[in-house]
């Protein structure tokens, strides 16, 4: 059942006319700041789920209408009331409580004028301390290595509950007061003034969300999180995608039971491989039992859906027993999963294993056509979403979740928007078509100002995928920016316009390379003349909104803070191209100016201790509270935001202009590298941090020139799909990133092939 916003809502929002007469069928709730209603809650209210919903209703009604309604228990009601949650009056009035599962909720008016707002309010009864996924969901800054955090009142897993009545209250406020929860925090609210609040006197509305669960990250405060449908799946134990290292941790078993881990190059290697190593020998019965033991531990804590998923970057075990399971590594893993599901059905009949279709198991199994009835699959489609879903059509009855990569600073866009409203809408409609039950977000809302509209589009489509994404973008701008809405709608339309290719693909899907290339993606997405137009639109919007309320101005300030950074960063990509193609002294001044502007922008972002400063009134980390050095140079999963050319300022550039810069006569193309020579030469060297000896599959242009007593070497390498390091064992001992561009050259100054200088 789709949500239907009645025509009255349009009148409330843009702007709201003042009704002067009571029409047949209307029920007046508040008029001229006065109301004879109270807010009634059940006498029994575990964990104050309904009480918090009542406080939200009281707070927002007061700001919108001026009327402050008292909150009482239902036994204290003497007149008419808003009855929240499961009440005696609600049962007498026929509120369909039995139908209110997940986040399905009800808005209803009884013949005597009482208003009922209800949903499922219940605990999932999950015990235990908070773990990393719990903390990550709440964006606790302490988890992100910052000294203070959000949602610090969350101390245990009692937060794993359903707050259906809270959702019903916020939906009522949206429908009949025109309130919008645009962004997390007080400055993210749009609360119009309502002189006269009326609803139909026969209102009866039950709303089913297309996606009641969108988990992995909350959206700041509880009101925004619930209003915009970012609801945790409370009964699901999610490890963020990788349960194997938790079930069989190398720090416990690595030394005492090496046989639990992969056989690689003839020996057991607990500490080998990506994803923190810890890759398992899955044919080992003891390993399988440890997986089941971890499953049972989570079951005993109250979870009923429990993820089982391999270590990230899966490395195949080469032992004979694993090969006997099946010669194909994909089928081998599916057969393991099926075996575990069958055993779980015996030991815990009401439990459901959730297997991750990722890496080896991205495609469905071929050795069997049905899964045990207790099984769920969590799909991980990176691109071509509909094609990935169709692969599973023969398993149509198998319940499915998805793990999505729509957002996140790990993309080449880094700290700027990743997707268009079109991409988001088509993706969610694809998931709805294929009956997806829940969505895990791998990354969310990195840059709140610039991504805010597309995050709003995503969030409202979770509720109803039939809504038009362009109308939702327009709605966001009207509510967020007041009189500046037309300019800001143009601004965001232009900002997102090149995040898709002309044939409709996301640029992340079509153009992103390995290693990731921020310059390539950002130069495609943001053209210089359009950046200038966007800057003019933003400055015009700020001037237009100078008399708007503080919330509008705060939202514009947030956009400007992020856009100034994006504009400056994109300048560097163009300057890097310019200096690479036309190295000259005239460009140095422009580079110096851009560096000064960068330092001016970033200099206002951090306190004296290097902690990121937030924009007041937004309950959300600014650019994920990324540390200063990563903002400048990249690190962790974030690639360098600025070209490495300018990392040491303009000094090296000035020096390079004094050297020979046109050795065209000496240029030649390397067709092949004698791999034996550098390996032999390296035998006597310290190769502790060596990753590999390169790959000659990429064309490399090299030019050499002598300048006084200096040797100048110029190289250009055309990377395709770069490969992972050949020796993961050596990589494990280093602090180097897993993927990087690297160029080495060897100089044979005697021409005899016996002595080399290695750079």
Average pLDDT, the chain: 85
**pLDDT for position 1:** 38
Collapsing DSSP states into helix, strand and coil, what is residue 40?
A: strand
pLDDT tens-place string over residues 175-185: 999 999 999 99
- Residue 661, C-beta contacts closer than 8 angstroms, at least 6 positions apart: 583
**pLDDT for position 717:** 60
Alpha helices (runs of H) in 33-93, residue ranges in sequence order: 49-65, 88-93
Whether 13 shows a pLDDT value over 70: the answer reads no
**pLDDT for position 350:** 97
Across 494-498, 609-613, 731-735, least confident range: 731-735
Whether 626 shows a pLDDT value over 80: the answer reads yes
Could you tell me which of 14, 8, 18, 16 has the C-alpha nearest to residue 475? Answer: 14
Residue 516 pLDDT grade (very low, low, confident, very high; cuts 50, 70, 90): confident
**pLDDT for position 7:** 32
Could you tell me which of 632, 636, 613 has the C-alpha nearest to residue 146? Answer: 613
pLDDT tens-place string over residues 89-117: 999 999 999 999 999 999 999 999 999 99
Across 46-50, 205-209, 256-260, 280-284, least confident range: 46-50
**pLDDT for position 132:** 65
Q: Is the model more confident about 688 or about 70?
A: 70
**pLDDT for position 216:** 87
**pLDDT for position 736:** 40
Which residues face 200 on adjacent strands? 26
Q: How far apart are CA 10 and CA 479, in angstroms?
A: 12
Could you tell me which of 421, 457, 461 has the C-alpha nearest to residue 3? Answer: 461
Q: How far apart are CA 54 and CA 71, in angstroms?
A: 7
How would you write 400-413 as a 3-class SS string?
EEEEECCCCCCCCC
Highest mean pLDDT among 437-451, 499-513, 639-653: 437-451
**CATH: 3.30.379.10, 3.40.50.261, 3.20.20.70, 3.30.2350.10. Which one for 8-209?**
3.30.379.10
Could you tell me which of 344, 307, 150, 136 has the C-alpha nearest to residue 232? Answer: 136
Across 44-58, 78-92, 660-674, 693-707, least confident range: 660-674
Whether 149 shows a pLDDT value over 90: the answer reads no
Phi and psi at residue 40, to the nearest 5°: -110, 135
Whether 721 shows a pLDDT value over 50: the answer reads no
CA angle 109, 114, 115 (to 5 degrees): 55
What's the average model confidence in pLDDT over 187-199? 98
pLDDT tens-place string over residues 542-586: 999 999 999 999 999 999 999 999 999 999 999 999 998 898 999
CA-to-CA dists, residue 251 to 256, 276, 436, 731, 734, angstroms: 10, 11, 37, 19, 19
pLDDT tens-place string over residues 64-74: 999 999 999 99
Whether 600 shows a pLDDT value over 70: the answer reads yes
What's the average model confidence in pLDDT over 746-754? 59
Whether 754 shows a pLDDT value over 70: the answer reads no
Whether 11 shows a pLDDT value over 60: the answer reads no
Could you tell me which of 311, 309, 322, 212 has the C-alpha nearest to residue 264? Answer: 322
Q: How far apart are CA 191 and CA 179, in angstroms?
A: 5
Report whether 128 contacts 121 (CB < 8 A).
Answer: no
Segments of 105-243 assigned E as strands: 105-109, 115-119, 121-123, 161-163, 180-181, 189-190, 196-200, 204-207, 214-215, 236-237
| Ranges of each domain in the chain | 8-209, 242-246+282-404, 406-657, 659-758
Collapsing DSSP states into helix, strand and coil, what is residue 420?
A: coil
**pLDDT for position 159:** 73
Is it true that the peptide bond before 486 is cis, omega within 30 degrees of 0? Answer: no
Helix (H) or strand (E) holding 84: strand 81-84
pTM: 0.83
**pLDDT for position 667:** 44
Q: How far apart are CA 241 and CA 217, in angstroms?
A: 14
Could you tell me which of 657, 630, 643, 661 has the C-alpha nearest to residue 574? Answer: 643
Q: Is the model more confident about 735 or about 221?
A: 221
Whether 735 shows a pLDDT value over 60: the answer reads no
Residue 280 pLDDT grade (very low, low, confident, very high; cuts 50, 70, 90): very high
Whether 690 shows a pLDDT value over 90: the answer reads no
Across 31-35, 129-133, 552-556, 652-656, least confident range: 129-133
Is it true that the peptide bond before 15 is cis, omega within 30 degrees of 0? Answer: yes
**pLDDT for position 636:** 77
Q: How far apart are CA 182 and CA 192, in angstroms?
A: 13
Collapsing DSSP states into helix, strand and coil, what is residue 119?
A: strand
Whether 118 shows a pLDDT value over 90: the answer reads yes
**pLDDT for position 671:** 40
pLDDT tens-place string over residues 321-373: 999 999 999 999 999 999 999 999 999 999 999 999 998 899 999 999 999 99
The contacts found for 524-528 with CB under 8 angstroms, 24 or more apart, are: 524/498, 525/413, 525/416, 525/498, 525/499, 526/416, 526/498, 526/566, 526/570, 527/498, 528/570, 528/574
Q: Is the model more confident about 747 or about 434?
A: 434
Whether 291 shows a pLDDT value over 80: the answer reads yes
The contacts found for 279-282 with CB under 8 angstroms, 24 or more apart, are: 279/244, 279/310, 279/311, 279/314, 279/315, 279/317, 280/244, 280/248, 280/310, 280/311, 280/317, 281/317, 281/319, 281/321, 281/322, 282/317, 282/322, 282/325, 282/332, 282/333, 282/336
What's the average model confidence in pLDDT over 123-149? 60
What's the average model confidence in pLDDT over 79-87? 98
Residue 47 pLDDT grade (very low, low, confident, very high; cuts 50, 70, 90): confident
Report whether 448 contacts 622 (CB < 8 A).
Answer: yes
**pLDDT for position 414:** 92
Whether 319 shows a pLDDT value over 60: the answer reads yes
Give residue 49's Cα distance to chain centre: 27
Q: Is the model more confident about 316 or about 693?
A: 316
């Amino acid at each position: 059942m789709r949500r239907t916003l009645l025509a009255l809502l349009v009148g409330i929002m843009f702007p709201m006319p003042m009704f002067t007469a009571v029409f047949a069928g209307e029920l007046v709730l508040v008029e001229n700041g006065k109301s004879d209603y109270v807010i009634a809650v059940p006498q029994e209210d575990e964990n104050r789920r309904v009480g918090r919903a009542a406080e939200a209703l009281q707070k927002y009604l007061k700001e919108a209408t001026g009327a402050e309604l008292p909150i009482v228990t239902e036994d204290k009601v003497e007149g008419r009331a808003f009855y929240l949650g499961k009440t005696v009056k609600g049962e007498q009035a026929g509120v369909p409580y039995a139908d209110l599962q997940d986040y399905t909720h009800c808005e209803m008016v009884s013949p005597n004028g009482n208003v009922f707002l209800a949903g499922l309010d219940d605990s999932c009864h999950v015990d235990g301390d908070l773990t990393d996924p719990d903390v990550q969901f709440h964006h606790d800054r302490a988890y992100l290595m910052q000294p203070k955090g959000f949602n610090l009142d969350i101390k245990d897993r009692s937060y794993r509950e359903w707050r259906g009545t809270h959702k019903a209250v916020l939906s009522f406020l949206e429908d009949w007061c025109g309130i919008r929860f645009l962004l997390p925090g007080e400055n993210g609210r749009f609360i119009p003034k309502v002189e006269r609040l009326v609803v139909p006197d026969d209102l009866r509305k039950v709303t089913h969300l297309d996606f009641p669960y969108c988990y992995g990250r909350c959206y700041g405060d509880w009101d925004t999180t619930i209003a915009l449908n970012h609801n945790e799946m409370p009964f699901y134990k999610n490890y963020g995608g990788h349960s194997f290292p938790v079930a069989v941790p190398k720090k416990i078993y690595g030394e005492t039971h090496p046989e639990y881990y992969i056989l690689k190059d003839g020996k057991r290697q607990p500490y080998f491989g990506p994803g923190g190593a810890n890759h398992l020998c899955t044919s080992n019965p003891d390993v399988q039992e440890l997986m089941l033991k971890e499953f049972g531990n989570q079951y005993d804590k109250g979870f009923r859906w429990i993820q089982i998923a391999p270590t990230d970057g899966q490395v195949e075990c080469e032992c004979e027993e694993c090969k006997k399971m099946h010669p194909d590594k994909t089928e081998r893993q599916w057969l393991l999963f099926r075996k575990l599901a069958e055993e779980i059905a015996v030991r815990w009949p009401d439990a459901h294993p959730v297997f991750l279709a990722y890496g080896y198991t991205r495609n469905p199994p071929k050795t069997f056509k049905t899964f045990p009835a207790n099984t769920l699959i969590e799909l991980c489609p990176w691109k071509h979403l509909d094609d990935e879903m169709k692969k599973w059509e023969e398993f149509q009855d198998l319940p499915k979740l998805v793990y999505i990569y729509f957002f996140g600073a790990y993309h080449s866009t880094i700290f700027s928007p990743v997707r268009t409203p079109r991409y988001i809408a088509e993706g969610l409609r694809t998931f709805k078509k294929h009956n997806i039950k829940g969505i895990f977000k791998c990354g969310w809302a990195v840059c709140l100002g610039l991504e805010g509209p597309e995050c709003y589009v995503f969030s409202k489509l979770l509720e109803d995928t039939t809504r038009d994404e362009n109308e939702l973008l327009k709605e966001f701008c009207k509510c967020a920016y007041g009189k500046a809405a037309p300019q800001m709608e143009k601004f965001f339309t232009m900002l997102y316009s090149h995040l898709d290719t002309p044939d409709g693909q996301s640029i992340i899907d079509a153009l992103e390379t390995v290693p990731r290339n921020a310059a390539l993606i950002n130069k495609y997405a943001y053209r210089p003349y359009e950046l200038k137009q966007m800057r003019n639109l933003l400055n015009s919007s700020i001037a237009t909104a100078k008399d708007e309320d503080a919330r509008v101005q705060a939202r514009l300030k947030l956009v400007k803070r992020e856009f100034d950074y994006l504009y400056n960063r994109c300048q560097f990509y163009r300057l890097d191209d310019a200096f690479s193609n036309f190295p000259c002294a005239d460009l140095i001044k422009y580079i110096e100016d851009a560096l000064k502007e960068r330092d001016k922008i970033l200099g206002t972002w951090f306190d004296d201790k290097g902690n990121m400063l937030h924009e007041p009134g937004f309950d959300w980390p600014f650019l994920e509270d990324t540390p200063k050095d990563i903002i400048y140079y990249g690190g962790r999963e974030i690639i360098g935001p600025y070209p490495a050319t300018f990392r040491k300022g303009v000094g090296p550039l000035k020096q390079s202009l004094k050297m020979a810069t046109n050795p065209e006569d000496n240029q030649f193309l390397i067709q092949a590298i004698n791999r034996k020579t550098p390996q032999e030469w390296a035998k006597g060297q310290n190769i502790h941090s060596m990753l590999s000896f390169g790959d000659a599959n990429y064309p490399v242009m090299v030019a050499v020139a002598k300048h006084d007593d200096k040797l100048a070497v110029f190289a250009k390498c055309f990377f395709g799909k770069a490969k992972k390091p050949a020796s993961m064992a050596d990589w494990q001992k280093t602090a180097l990133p897993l993927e990087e561009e690297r160029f080495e050259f060897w100089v044979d100054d005697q021409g005899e092939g016996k002595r080399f200088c290695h750079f």
